[in-house]
């Protein structure tokens, strides 16, 4: 099995590459990544010499690079994306261009490469369902919840999601879609709430909590998400959507208190700041379909142990996040890339 993974130099992608190399000795994986601000080859430095791994610098919007790489693949896992809601509020253009148009360019290239009958996994997000009210905790997103995205990020991911579904109906393409809740774990870009808060505290800075802090997210460890994607790749039914979640809902305030407690800080380190525009109130996933049909359930997301080990990773790896936070990582990965070409 030769997988072409898009976005493999990012947070989830780099963890996915390592999981595949570790758990599937007979698989090869090619990582196609444009190395935007959140792509970092340093995430993969421990496996970069593995002969089953290949890196190709390329953009999912570039048909030329896709036509060169895809014909040799048995499957595509598509997770390259602009991924941060706050950035999409500041400038939605790159989100529509990569997340929606990039998915269309990739789907067409996969068909040209003879991939119509071969597996194509689209890594979507639970944010395509929009926001749930806090008042009805029994309601969760199921795969048949109507899509109702509310941020430019989630709208652009929904565009990709709908196109993938359309290629199943129109061409009978062998697609499967995953919709996962919020991930945490090592190598997450420190613009997302957990690495931002942990690294701020290490630096002695306060943590900026949006609004009243009551917004709820369902937290899943990245290794669980990657294992679920691999399960869907291997066993999922074409044309189906699988929700992935940790059954682990926490308000942002609860999450912040847990981080403060783990790191030995008090309430005074919280800085309440203006709310995010259009801030989705609650995400909650019903992941019973993937459990019942494919036998997958989370095993590495136990709370607070998984949060503690994640905090420890950032405490133990200051060189990684200091470079990333300061912007020097760009010169690091550009240097790495130049040395390969
Ligand atoms: P990330 O921002 O850490 O990584 C994104 C990667 O995509 C980077 O390596 C970047 O260089 C690459 N990329 C961006 N634009 C590209 C382009 N045009 N061509 C090629 N590569 C490009 O994001 P992440 O958190 O690892 O998320 C990965 C995927 O998982 C995304 O599709 C996201 O929507 C989805 N997802 C994320 C979460 C989460 O909690 N992080 C939850 C559910 C779904
Ligand atoms: P984030 O990690 O950006 O993920 P998403 O918006 O995709 O869920 O944010 C998680 C939650 O944390 C979200 O409700 C917004 C909140 N948040 C803050 O309170 N402060 C921050 O500085 C950030 C980045 C997020």
Taking a C-beta distance cutoff of 8 angstroms, is the pair 48, 91 a contact? no
Q: Which atom belonging to ligand 1 lies closest to the Cα atom of 187?
A: 3
Domain count along the chain: 1
Question: Which pLDDT score, from 0 to 100, does residue 335 have?
Answer: 59
- The predicted pLDDT at position 304 comes to 96
Catalytic: which of 33, 42, 59, 127?
127
Q: Which ligand sits nearest to residue 186's alpha carbon?
A: 1
How far is residue 312 from each of residues 25, 42, 128, 175, 193, measured CA to CA in Å? 29, 19, 32, 37, 16
Instruction: List pLDDT tens digits, range 280-339.
Output: 999 999 999 999 999 999 999 999 999 999 999 999 999 999 998 887 665 655 555 555
Kindly state if the Cβ of 129 falls inside 6 Å of ligand 1. Answer: no
Measure 160 CA to ligand 1 centroid, in angstroms: 13
User: 10 Å Cβ neighbour count for 108?
Assistant: 14
- From the candidates 53, 129, 153, 187, which is the catalytic residue? 153
The verdict on whether 153 is a catalytic residue reads yes
Beta strands in the chain (DSSP E): 2-6, 28-33, 53-57, 75-78, 119-125, 175-180, 183-184, 207-210, 216-218, 220-221, 241-244, 249-251, 270-273
Measured by CA distance, the residue closest to atom 14 of ligand 1 is 81
With a 6 Å cutoff on the Cβ, whether 85 touches ligand 2 is yes
* Alpha carbon of 255 to ligand 2 centroid (Å): 11
Q: Please indicate whether residue 267 is annotated as part of the active site.
A: no
Distances (CA, A) of 205 to 200, 253, 271, 313: 5, 17, 10, 19
Residue 263 lies in a domain: no
Q: Report how far residue 188's alpha carbon sits from residue 310's, in angstroms, rounded to the nearest whole number.
A: 10
Chain-wide mean pLDDT for the chain? 96
Whether 3 lines ligand 2, by a CB cut-off of 6 Å, is no
> Closest Cα to atom 6, ligand 2: which residue?
85
- Report whether residue 311 contacts ligand 2, using a CB cutoff of 6 Å: no
pLDDT at 1: 97
Domain-located, residue 197: no
Query: What pLDDT, on the 0 to 100 scale, is given for residue 326?
Result: 83
Catalytic residue among 59, 126, 218, 280: 126
Domain membership of residue 12 (yes or no) is yes
Residue 203: inside a domain: no
Span 107-123, average pLDDT: 98
* Residue 126 is among the residues annotated as catalytic for this protein: yes
Are 28 and 55 in contact, with CB atoms under 8 Å apart? no
Query: Residue 156 belongs to a domain with what CATH number?
Result: 3.40.50.720
In 10 A of CB 202, how many CB atoms? 15
Q: Is residue 231 part of a domain?
A: yes
If residue 161 lies in a helix (H) or strand (E), which one and from where to where?
helix 152-171
How many angstroms separate the Cα of 228 from the Cα of each of 168, 174, 251?
A: 21, 18, 24
Q: Is the CB of residue 243 below 6 angstroms from any atom belonging to ligand 1?
A: no
Task: Report if residue 328 sits inside a domain.
Answer: no
Model confidence at 340: pLDDT above 50: no
210/98 Cα distance (integer angstroms)? 27
Q: What is the mean pLDDT of residues 163-174?
A: 98
Per the structure, the complete domain to which residue 74 belongs is given by 2-187+220-250+279-301
Mean pLDDT of 256-276: 97
Over the stretch 3-60, which tens digit does the pLDDT of each residue have? Answer: 999 999 999 999 999 999 999 999 999 999 999 999 999 999 999 999 999 999 999 9
- pLDDT score for 123: 99
């Amino acid at each position: 099995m030769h997988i072409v993974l898009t976005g493999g130099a990012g947070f989830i992608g780099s963890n996915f590459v390592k999981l595949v190399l570790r758990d599937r000795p007979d698989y090869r994986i090619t990582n196609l990544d444009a190395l935007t601000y959140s792509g970092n080859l340093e995430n993969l430095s421990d496996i970069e010499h593995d002969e089953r791994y290949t890196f190709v610098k390329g953009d999912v919007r570039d048909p030329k690079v896709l036509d060169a790489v895809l014909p040799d693949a048995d499957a595509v896992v598509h997770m390259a994306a602009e991924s941060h809601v706050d950035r999409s509020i500041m400038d939605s253009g790159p989100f529509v261009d990569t997340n929606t148009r990039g998915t269309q360019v990739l789907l067409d290239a996969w068909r040209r490469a003879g991939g119509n009958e071969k597996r194509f996994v689209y890594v979507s997000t639970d944010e395509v369902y929009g926001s749930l009210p806090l008042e009805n905790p029994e309601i969760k997103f199921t795969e048949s919840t109507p899509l109702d995205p509310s941020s430019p990020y989630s709208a652009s991911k929904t565009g990709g999601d709908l196109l993938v579904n359309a290629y199943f109906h129109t061409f009978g393409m062998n697609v499967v879609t995953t919709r996962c809740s919020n991930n945490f774990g090592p190598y997450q870009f420190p613009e997302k709430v957990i690495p931002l808060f942990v690294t701020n505290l290490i630096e002695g800075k306060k943590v900026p909590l949006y609004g009243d802090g009551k917004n709820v997210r369902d937290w899943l460890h990245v290794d669980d998400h990657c294992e679920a994607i691999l399960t869907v790749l291997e066993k999922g039914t074409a044309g189906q959507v699988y929700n992935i979640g940790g059954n682990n809902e926490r308000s942002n305030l609860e999450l912040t208190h847990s981080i403060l407690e783990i790191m030995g800080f008090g309430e005074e380190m919280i800085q309440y700041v203006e709310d995010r525009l259009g801030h989705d109130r609650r995400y909650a996933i019903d992941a019973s379909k993937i459990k019942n049909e494919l036998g997958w359930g989370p095993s590495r997301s136990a709370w607070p142990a998984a949060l503690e080990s994640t905090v420890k990773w950032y405490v133990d790896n200051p060189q990684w996040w200091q470079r990333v936070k300061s912007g020097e990582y760009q010169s690091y990965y550009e240097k790495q890339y130049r040395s390969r070409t």
